[in-house]
Amino acid sequence: MSELTHFDAQGQAHMVDVSDKPSTVRVAVATGVICMQAATWQRIQSGQAGKGDVLGVARIAGIQGAKRTADWIPLCHPIPLTRVAIEFDHIEAQDAVRLRCSATVQTVGPTGVEMEALVAVQAALLTVYDMCKAMDRGMLITDVGLQEKRGGRSGHWRRDDGSN
């Protein structure tokens, strides 16, 4: 297991110094799921959710979340992002739908974008919840996690447990 880098020798939290790290292309992919009633999904698809284009607004929220990660997570570096892509797909069951959000975030820099991808997923899914809560307060956001990261000293990592 790697050493915790956000603590100094005295155990105090600090922002990691990345000034000596080389700038490389770094990519992270995160996913998450929001579970909802089938009727809620039908209203989203038909454009009858009452607040507009739910997935369009959620996509923009995810992009904005990625761009503002350093405002959400105190020790994250503000990173100039070169790409943020938010995608949705779904699995329908009898009375429920699992809407899956995937965020791909990229930069060229000295530190990775895993947190930006995770925040993007959360912001997108929270926006779906916010826009649809009047119809379905029982929606559940679940299974948020990093699926893949590329670049940097640690190289390529991919989740291989089949989740999400």
For 123, other C-beta atoms within 10 Å of its C-beta total: 24
Which of helix, strand or coil describes residue 2?
Answer: coil
- From the candidates 20, 130, 136, 160, which is the catalytic residue? 130
131, 57 Cβ separation under 8 angstroms: yes
Q: Taking the CA of residue 57 as centre, how many other CA atoms within 13 Å lie in the half-sphere pointing to its CB?
A: 15
Give CA 49 to chain center in angstroms. 23
Measured distance CA(130)–CA(87) in Å, rounded: 18
Q: Is the dihedral of CA 28, 34, 38, 40 positive or negative?
A: negative
User: Catalytic site residue 95?
Assistant: no
Could you list the active site residues? 130
